[in-house]
Each structure stands twice: as C-alpha cells, then as structure tokens.
Amino acid sequence: MDQSAIYIAAGILMGLGAIGSSIGIGILGGKYLEGVARQPELQPLLMTQLFISLALVDAVPIIAVGISLYMLFAL
C-alpha cells in the first residue's frame, strides 16, 4: 500500500508538472520564432532571453521529476 501510493504520487507529480510547463514552453518557443521572423538581427539577444525564461519555466517540472525520482528510489 505504502509503496503503491508513492508510485501514484510520483506519476501525478511528473505528469501535472509536465502539462503546465509544456504549454508554457510551447508559447515561449512560438513567440521566439515570431520575434525572430519579425527581426532576424535580434536573434542572438532573443536566444539568450529564451534560454533564461526556458530555464525558469523548466525549473518547476524538472524539480518535480527530481523529487519524484527521489521518492521512488531513495525513500
């Protein structure tokens, strides 16, 4: 019982985190492409900004994945 609850919790943790961040990253990438299409000369600058915001969005699910793997294997 205990172990199966951990499995379910880890699955929910990874899945829900992934949903939110994938929508966010999709919007982010789309806007980046739009911006580059409008002003190609700004591409290096936008790329840096893209990576920064990508990392900010990425942090939440990746922390969730880390914690859920920790729950699965280390607890």
Catalytic residue numbers read: 58
- Binding footprint of other proteins, residue count (CB under 8 A): 17
Question: Please, what is the minimum distance in Å from the beta carbon of residue 58 to other proteins?
Answer: 7
Q: Say which residues have a Cβ less than 8 Å from residue 36's Cβ, sequence separation at least 6.
A: 42, 43, 46
Distance CA 27, CA 37 (A): 15
Taking CB under 8 A as the rule, does residue 26 contact other proteins?
no
* Residue 63 DSSP code: H
Positions in 44-73 near other proteins (CB under 8 A): 45, 48, 51-52, 55, 58-59, 62-67, 69-70, 73
